[in-house]
Structure 1
Amino acid sequence: MNSGQVGHETVVLDGVPIHALSEAGTVDHVMAELDAGRGGLLLTANVDIMFRLRAPEHADLVSEATTVVADGMPLVWASRLLGTPLPERVTGADLVWKLSEAAAREGRKVFLLGAGPGVAERAGATFVKAYPGLQVVGHESPPKGFDKDPEYMAELARRMVEAQPDLVFVALGFPKQDRVALALREHLPATWFMGCGGALDMAAGEVPRAHPLLQEVGAEWLHRLVQEPRRLARRYLVDDLPYAVGLVGQAALTRVRGSK
């Protein structure tokens, strides 16, 4: 991981150093880094992302991320079993709101990138309504394959440099959103980027958020599975669920062995 993480404790889960930051601590960290003139890449690691980070082609995303937080209760449970507890689950779906609130308070500018046609614009209007004075300086719902089009990427970078956002929420799904963020960071080194998956869809009212009880017990994935069974069944039931059970089980086994 890069130097932006210095000064914060990390808990290593399956080879990934995760910052022991609360939601409020994450927001404070990002705002303090902006005040210092430093940008970064915030990775909200849920179970699906943790599973996919095991692939060699994604390993560099861990080292390139400036800050990694635990967007998944199994990660929090595993850290507790290891005796090095992470303070809480920190979700991208919540951070888009909390960071927007802080940006409005501190006069920071936000750019929204990704999601379907018109979604980023509607999400931005929702944030502005919730936090009057928030400066949404741009939104873009790019076409499929845009990240492989050098001309499109160059024009997007030009527009973003002109807008000079402090925060960019990238809603393209992992790992695409993080790859795009890294490419754009070269042009905006003092900006903070965060991949946020479906968070803009939720903010725009396109997709309902799970009940708070499901979120609290780590079952928000079940809510999403019911919504999109065809798309998510294999990912959640074949890949992610066994991985989550293995992650927590391995942490428990490590704890037992350490206590002997």
Structure 2
Amino acid sequence: MSIEAFDRVHLDGTGIDRITEDEVVAVVRDALAHGRGGRIITPNVDILRRASADPRVRRHLDDADLIVADGMPLVWASRLGGSPLPERVAGSSLIWSLSRGLGRDARSVFVIGGIPAGTDRPAGARARRSDSAAEAHATDGDRPAGAHATDGDRPVGAHATDGERLSGERPSGAERAAARLAAASPGLRIAGAVSPPFGFERDEARYARFRAEVTEARPDLVFVGLGFPKQELVIERLREHLPSTWFIGCGAAVNFVAGDVHRAPRWMQRTGLEWAHRLGAEPRRLAGRYLRHDAPYALRLLARAPRGRP
């Protein structure tokens, strides 16, 4: 199944593939079978809003091979516009379905993100288990989930094996997520898993070690859960070294899989209220973005949609 087989629905200047989650998995499996790599981006309302005004954000969308709608307002706007998207395709769901699909082909994944080894919970998460941290999908690129100031003393990848970890130290979020994906996806191979410390991409020596760890593993697919736009910038830098690999920026999906952050209930996901769950978890950090910027933009997007009917 080729990518060209799907047309795109245009919302505020962004073309979004009219594709289901199962079809995304089929496209990636087929491309890998033919030795082709690629990149998936999952814009939500916040990313779409920023792309409409910021060329730097637009660049990430223009570079993607598949663009899928990770937000019910985008699906609703497409329906109002007369070119309906078939469904919401969230990065936090794709991390599971892509792993299962690649497992059927005995292929490998590399997991990047999550909280570093020995850390109890992501930065910003409340102490009580029920109060999960907000998904790092929208604009958390400047503060990756779980980054702690003291992590800078730990070399990237140094926690990859138990032999290098302090006795009794909790495995990293990426390692725990990778283990859960492997357990749920028969045949899947884990090429590697790393939870890099805050600011690793700005330290050339540290980034070089990180890049070497990923590229030498030669994974078929890389999940990069560092928050937008940091994860997209990291993907740009890695793609040139792994042209036959697929990449997806998956925000807080690594934290979800690891069990460090709890996703909204399914009924909230289906009804487009997942944002309310995240807002309730971190109101001080997210209220301005969601209520002052994203909500008005979403309303404008929905209001304009009928005028775009073909």
Give me the TM-score of the superposition, normalised by structure 1: 0.93
CA distance in 1, matches of 2:263, 2:58: 30
Q: How does 1:91-110 map to 2 (within 5 A)?
A: 91-110=90-109
How far apart are the structure 2 equivalents of 1:94 and 1:59?
A: 24
Distance in 1 between the 2:47 and 2:115 partners?
21
Aligned with residue 11 of structure 2, among 13, 25, 35? 13
Name 1:66's counterpart in structure 2: 65
Instruction: Output the CA distance in 2 between the equivalents of 1:141 and 1:222.
Output: 27
Residue 41 of structure 1 corresponds to 39
Is 1:113 the counterpart of 2:112 in the alignment?
Answer: yes
Shift of 1:100: 0.6
Amino acid in structure 1 at the alignment position of 2:75: V
Q: For residue 81 of structure 1, what is the aligned residue in structure 2?
A: 80
Q: What's the CA shift string for 1:73-131, capped at 9, x where partnerless?
A: 11111111111111100000000000011111111100001122111111111111212
Give the match for residue 231 of structure 1: 285
1:134-173 to 2 correspondences below 5 Å: 134-173=188-227
* Separation in 2, partners of 1:19, 1:171: 22
In 2, distance between residues paired with 1:175 and 1:47? Answer: 14
Partner of residue 233 from structure 2, selected from 146, 159, 179: 179
2: CA distance, partners of 1:201 / 1:6: 33
Q: Distance in 2 between matches of 1:134 and 1:254?
A: 43
Which of the two has greater helix per residue?
1
Q: Report the alpha carbon displacement of residue 228 of structure 1 after superposing the two structures with TM.
A: 1.3
After superposition, the C-alpha distances for 1:22-45 in whole angstroms (9 at most, x for unaligned) are: 010111111111111111110011
Q: Return the alpha-carbon distance in structure 1 between the equivalents of residues 105 and 57 of structure 2.
A: 34
In 2: Cα distance, 1:91 partner to 1:51 partner: 17
Query: Offset of 1:8 from its aligned partner?
Result: 1.9
Give the secondary-structure state (helix, strand or coil) at the position aligned to 1:83: coil
Superposed CA offset, 1:185-206 (max 9, x none): 0100100000000001111111
1:5, distance to aligned residue in structure 2 (A):
4.4
Matched residue, 2:168: none
Question: Can you list the C-alpha shifts for 1:178-224, whole angstroms capped at 9, x where unaligned?
Answer: 11001000100100000000001111111111111111111111011
Q: How many residues align?
A: 253
User: Which runs of at least 4 in structure 1 moved beyond 6 Å after TM superposition?
Assistant: none
The unaligned stretches of length 5 or more in structure 1 are none
Q: Distance in 2 between matches of 1:247 and 1:233?
A: 20
SS at match of 1:6: helix
Residue 246 of structure 1 pairs with residue 300 of structure 2: yes
CA distance in 2, matches of 1:111, 1:147: 17
**Rounded Cα–Cα distance in structure 2 between residues aligned with 1:170 and 1:146:** 14
TM-score, normalised with respect to structure 2: 0.79
Using the alignment, how far apart are the partners of 1:75 and 1:242 within structure 2? 14
Distance 1:44 1:33 in 2: 19
